[in-house]
Structure 1
Amino acid sequence: MWNFHSNGEATGLSWRSSTWFILSTIAIALFAETFLYGFLVPMLPYMLRSRLHLSGAKIQKQTSLVLAIHGMVSVVSGPIIGHFADKTTNRKLPLLLSLVACIVGTGMVAGSNSLAVLFIGRVMQGIAGSSVWIVGLATVADTVGGNNMGKIEGIMMSFLYSGLIGGPLVSGLLLEYVGYWSTWSLPLLLLIIDFCARLVMTESRPAEVLTNRQESTESNACAVTEPLLSPCETPQTRSTAGNFWRIILTDERALTALVMAIATTTVGTSFHATLPIHIQETFDWGSRESGTLFACLIMPTVLVSPMAGWLRDRYGVKYPAMASAIFQGVIFVLLGLAGTDFLPWTRVQTGGGALYTGCILALGVARPFTANVGTVELSAVVKAYQEDSPGIFGPAGGMSRVFSLDDVAASLGTVLGPIVGGFLKEYVGYTYMCWAWRSEEKKEEIR
């Protein structure tokens, strides 16, 4: 299969550059990235307590910081990666380099015996994850074209959410039954498979994208020798990096979409820092129950997302999101009461655990109607500008920068969620933290 012709071309080039193989490679990459993020969640309290020997009073704070550092790194690295990804003609190399960083970072996290090593490993994982999200989805956009992007992006999100489900569920079960190092062998095996797929993949771009990039290069060459507009240069072929950020970041609809994306991610990721510790303190549940609860939170998202998309297409974004926000507000009130002595049926001894589990499951059903609203709106804003003024964001359309904005918004949420959630839980209690998220859902409804 790997024999070479006399001209040096591999015999497997046709399937290595095929659409299905490229999309499969990116899907594996997205799954692996989110799997690793969720994989650490149930294990983190054990790592901090048993391997790093932290006192119980420090575990909540350090859990929040370890989870938040991933988002902090992505906030900084996302725009830089997006800027250069729109300029490169070879996206395979950055995907491979990001995976090498991820493998090294994961090894450091697994073997960490100090907070410094643990944080450095998380930094490397954050950069790698940001690169996969931005470069990977831009590769998908180049491969399938605009007409099929919505459908293909939905499939990619299914793999992403599957990683979020599988990570905490698998690590919670394995940690309890097979031990620490045997548990870490699974993500390392997944990364090896991911690396092989990215190494074999040969990027294939539509001819119009390559032509636009070539024309842009020729126009820039003309601009070097002639400061004013010359016959081979048009206003649209000039650098539009500054125009993109200025236009999008001053558009009210785009700013609202970014705020919504940040808010929904903040609420969702707050559970990563608080749920494992809360259920251990309140219900005496361990890593197995923690993984199961995360599956209850995310599994419905995979199943309900197609219906949420259909309702958006039929009735628009506003009304499904508004109904979901109201419903989630009620559920957050009940979630905060589960395990307390507020009412007879909320107590631990009389059904508080069942109430808590039911609330988590209900939130998982409702989240798809609000979770992707900001991303959908932001994409619609950028597409509207491009339809009104073709070439406004450059010959490549600026899709990498669109996804980098989305990545920054999501990353800010992953920073704020663990930190704000952990702070509220520690200083005002889990009940009031949930009620604070209820207020946040009401704000989403108003928007």
Structure 2
Amino acid sequence: MFTWLVGSDTKPPAFLKLRSSATFIIITVATSVFTDIFVYGIVVPVLPFALTSRSNIQPDQIQTWISIFLAVYGAALLAASPICGWLADRSSNRRLPFVCGLVALGASTILLCLGNSIGMLAAGRVLQGFSAAVVWVVGLALLVDTVGSDGVGQAMGYVGLSMSLAILLAPLLGGIVFASAGYYAVFAMAFGLIVFDIILRLVMVEKKMAVRWLPVEEVVVTNGIDENGGHPTDIEDDPAGLTQPESSSTDKPSLISEKNVMTATDPTVPAPGMSKPPGNFASRLPAVIYLLSSRRVLSALWACMIMSSLLTAFDSVLPLYVRDTFHWNSLGAGLIFLPIVVVSFFGPLVGWASDKVGSRRFATVGFIVTCPAIILLRLVDHDSLSQKVLMCALLAIFGTGITLGLTPMMAEITYAVDQKASRHPPGFFGKNGAYAQAYSLFNMAWAAGCFVGPLAGGLINQKAGWATSMLVLGCISIVTAIPTAIWTGGSIFKKRKQAAAAADRIEGGE
């Protein structure tokens, strides 16, 4: 009955080439991310004004409850992410769980729309967290399956752009619509977007499903595995020189023959001349545990968690601060996010550049730039035109730093997985690889940030004030630049040792 959904049809779907194209899949994943963030953020400027009238919350308790609602979302995201990653890497296709995530999103939106008590609103945020886990884990893994390691940075740039647009438009439109048309009109936009997202997810056809019907010459290796069944790598992915791949990760995806289609789409099939993976201890560990043994992975996860903390901390404190300082309404509370998001339009360009030169430089500069921008926000302390201009300028610099750091670090997860995989025979991480489980770790890191950021930012702001909270967040940013500079793209110390050893060999040869 549901063969069309799980991809077991015997007849090729209509418009298969278009529906399985990389462009269409990127659009679908980017739209799913936009929908998830939009529905999450649409109530950010609305809650401070709606909690009092709908849930009988006292004005002096609003900051606490907003922080709790944001943290509840992060906790649910944190709990659901590893489960989604494990199931996605063992599922025959990624579209089915991708579509099922919309069920949780629809249910959560209904609860948030109709909720008139703290319990219903909290339940809605929990279901939102479950839905976000599916979107980010399954969606990003599907993206890597489609574009491969060579184009993952640019693809993540589009994902980051869609996320930034949602961060901008959700509070902006939420504030405008709430002020002009009321509470229920805000959620009407959310339901319309969910319907559009459902259509895209149902129409999409995965690459590995399209292989059965498309001509062999149109099938491209796009899952990070080259035509010989190995995992391409480069000097940045493998700084210690532990592998000697025949092809570089900077090479374009190559066409594959019919004989190698199964090897490319099913890594458990050994490549010619290579035996099946040995049953050593590492291969028996869950992929998430094995990946966590990498300092490179841990550094990337820490950086992602801090970026999430910084963004959600501003979600928690910024709308209330501009309301109290500049006396703005919900519209102003939404518009204040505009400077942060406008610069995110450079995300795809940053991703393209990181594919060419590596993630280390961009991510490190991003955290360095972010630090003074946050700390200088302490200077905004009264209502005047110059203060408003100063805040917008500093928020734009903050957004630039986040854009420079977030896109490369999202791609860094894929690069790190490929480095780990390159040290082992195909199939080491199972039939579908470990991309979903790797992005479940990313999702957990992001969720941890969603949990810590609102609580830390909101509670510090409530107890010690705006100036202290900005100082703390800025210091956290500059401290994070240190491990980012050392381990992003592989340990910088190993690269230097490798370069020194190479120089010694050249001198010895002379």
TM-score (norm 1): 0.86
C-alpha distance in structure 1 between counterparts of 2:379 and 2:103, whole Å: 45
CA displacement at 1:191 relative to structure 2:
0.5
8 A contact 1:276–1:286 mirrored in 2? no
One-letter code of the match for 1:69?
V
- SS of the aligned residue for 2:43 comes to helix
8 A contact 1:296–1:360 mirrored in 2? yes
| Percentage of matched positions with identical amino acids | 26
CA displacement at 1:167 relative to structure 2:
1.1
Indicate which of 376, 383, 396 corresponds to 2:432. Answer: 396
8 A contact 1:283–1:348 mirrored in 2? yes
Q: Which moved more, 1:187-196 or 1:325-334?
A: 325-334
Change (3 A) 1:243 1:124: closer
CA displacement at 1:83 relative to structure 2:
0.5
8 A contact 1:49–1:55 mirrored in 2? yes
Matching residue of 1:355 = 390
One-letter code of the match for 1:132?
V
**CA displacement 1:318-337 (0-9 Å, x = unmatched):** 4x444443443222222112
Matching residue of 1:107 = 110
C-alpha distance in structure 2 between counterparts of 1:149 and 1:381, whole Å: 12
8 A contact 1:168–1:295 mirrored in 2? no
Change (3 A) 1:156 1:329: closer
CA displacement at 1:33 relative to structure 2:
0.9
Matching residue of 1:432 = 468
Indicate which of 452, 457, 462 corresponds to 1:416. Answer: 452
- SS of the aligned residue for 2:393 comes to helix
One-letter code of the match for 2:380?
A
8 A contact 1:241–1:393 mirrored in 2? no
Query: What aligned pairs does 1:362-373 form with structure 2 within 5 A after superposition?
Result: 362-373=397-408
CA displacement at 1:271 relative to structure 2:
0.5
**CA displacement 1:125-172 (0-9 Å, x = unmatched):** 111111011111222222333433333232232222222221111111
Change (3 A) 1:380 1:216: closer
Number of paired residues?
Answer: 424
Extract unaligned runs of 5+ from structure 2: 5-9, 212-220, 224-260, 484-510
Indicate which of 315, 318, 321 corresponds to 1:272. Answer: 315
C-alpha distance in structure 2 between counterparts of 1:62 and 1:15, whole Å: 46
**CA displacement 1:339-383 (0-9 Å, x = unmatched):** 2xxxxxxx3246323322222122112222233454344332221
Change (3 A) 1:305 1:194: closer
C-alpha distance in structure 2 between counterparts of 1:241 and 1:199, whole Å: 35
**CA displacement 1:48-106 (0-9 Å, x = unmatched):** 12211200121001101111211111111101100010011122221221101111110
Matching residue of 2:333 = 290
Asked if 1:211 is matched to 2:262, the reply is yes
**CA displacement 1:206-250 (0-9 Å, x = unmatched):** 75878369978899xxxxxxxxxxxx9642699946252333212
8 A contact 2:267–2:432 mirrored in 1? no
Extract unaligned runs of 5+ from structure 1: 220-231, 340-346
CA RMSD between the two structures: 3.0
C-alpha distance in structure 1 between counterparts of 2:47 and 2:304, whole Å: 26
One-letter code of the match for 1:398?
A
Query: What aligned pairs does 1:324-343 form with structure 2 within 5 A after superposition?
Result: 324-339=366-381
Change (3 A) 1:309 1:200: closer
C-alpha distance in structure 1 between counterparts of 2:265 and 2:347, whole Å: 43
Indicate which of 412, 424, 443 corresponds to 2:479. Answer: 443
8 A contact 1:99–1:128 mirrored in 2? yes
Change (3 A) 1:178 1:111: same
> In proportion to residue count, which structure has more helix?
1
Change (3 A) 1:136 1:305: closer
8 A contact 1:169–1:292 mirrored in 2? yes
Change (3 A) 1:325 1:10: closer
8 A contact 1:63–1:273 mirrored in 2? yes
